[in-house]
Amino acid sequence: MNQVILKKKISMRVANGHPWIFANEVNEAPEGVNPGDIVDVYTHDKKFIGKGYINPRSQILVRLLTRKKDDVINEEFFYNRLLEAWQYRQQLGYTENCRLIFGEADYLPQLIIDKFNDYFVIQTLALGIDVWKPAIVAALEKIFKPKGIYERNDVPVRELEGLPQHKGFLSAPFDTKITIQENGLKFFVDIENGQKTGYFLDQQDNRRAIQHIVKGADVLGAFTYTGTFEIHAAHYGAKSVLGLDISQNAVDQANRNAALNGVDKTCRFECMNAFDVLKAWAKEGKQYDVVMLDPPSFTKTRDNIQKAITGYKEINLRGMKLIKPGGFLVTSSCTNLVQPDLFLEIIQLAAKDARRKIRQVSFLTQSADHPIVWEWENTHYLKFLIVQVL
């Protein structure tokens, strides 16, 4: 068996169980190993740490799949991992739509699987997991007997692993424009061309959290994508809802979603640059009872972290200026590098600059089908905050 020996001084991240092992943490690595091969990892004094897949082309040399020495990495291993993940989601009440596999948090590094009722979307983001794609598809077929499986590997991160970007069917072809149900509402999902895997399941629980604050309210939503928060607001009794997004395709789908749920008289969407509009409308003195901000990630690298902080502060400051005294701000960040304490600090600074006091209503994370493993920061990426703006 190929063996990787770690240096004496390794980061606490590895000692605490995180599955990533960087090349600069390794003292000895096998020669002539094929990218994607399974290796055994040991401490400097030959204590077993785990088994994982290796890729000499990647900065992350090894990603661990198991800490158990007796585990054999084969088709049965992946079947059992997927079955365990499905049983866990069922225990939590996610039976229709859910993130079935959330990479490292489900001990399958760089594998993402979203379940949209009877359809599945897969992302294999590292070479070592990509080689097991046939086994993963076979496990899905065996456990779920799905109507369709689609691959959304059109993501640049794969190129860091020496993998091409592509997308396509992993089952017999099917209509990739489907409809799902969430919280009693219906939404169109474009599996083939939508962002990420076609729909953001990580906010499905948080969308219920707005139900009491939007009753009878005039609501403004920015960075709406396909309008899920705004349509929930209309469903929960908002007086009027306006959603803004820079993508005309997203706006068109959001308006179709509003019509699908019979709220198109209350809820409408327009194609606008939210950054510019929030600033201009604040100067004009427009006011809303509720402002909702759900922007995309502002950075993937630490080099741009200050830029991301500035961006979050700016949009939240502008959002607060548009809120009537006693109204509510609903705001999110999916930037993993902006951890919860920093996000709250940014919101506090925005409130100070807006000369508004804020009172926390709720502070939540991603929905529980995207598990958080404590001390693994990359598993805790979503921050969802509701504050009253006084």
pLDDT tens digits, one per residue of 223-277: 999 999 999 999 999 999 999 999 999 999 999 999 999 999 999 999 999 999 9
Q: What is the pLDDT of residue 11?
A: 67
Provide the β-strand partners of residue 166. 153
Q: Which amino acid is at 172?
A: A
Q: What is the pLDDT of residue 14?
A: 81
Same domain, 62 and 88: no
DSSP helix/strand/coil, 61: strand
Nearest Cα to Cα of residue 294 among 248, 355, 233: 233
The two structure tokens encoding residue 109: 């590094």
Strands (E), 89-156: 97-102, 111-116, 119-124, 148-153
* The residue to which tokens 């970007």 are assigned: 165
Q: What is the pLDDT of residue 212?
A: 97
Same domain, 62 and 84: no
As a whole number of angstroms, the distance between CA 154 and CA 131 comes to 17
Same domain, 146 and 44: no
As a whole number of angstroms, the distance between CA 63 and CA 41 comes to 10
Flag whether 264 is in a domain: yes
Same domain, 17 and 108: no
Residue 138: exposure state from Cβ atoms within 10 A (0-12, 13-18, ≥19): middle
Q: Tell me the residue range of the domain where 95 lies.
A: 75-176
Q: Which amino acid is at 273?
A: N
pLDDT below 70 — which residues of the chain? 1, 11
Count Cα atoms within 13 angstroms, Cβ side, for 185: 25
Same domain, 21 and 149: no
- Domain total for the chain? 3
Same domain, 32 and 106: no
DSSP helix/strand/coil, 276: helix
Residues 6+ apart with CB under 8 A from 227: 221, 243, 250, 253, 254, 255, 257, 258, 267, 269
Same domain, 16 and 53: yes
As a whole number of angstroms, the distance between CA 297 and CA 381 comes to 10
Within 10 Å of residue 255's Cβ, how many Cβ atoms?
Answer: 18
Same domain, 99 and 13: no
Same domain, 51 and 95: no
Flag whether 111 is in a domain: yes
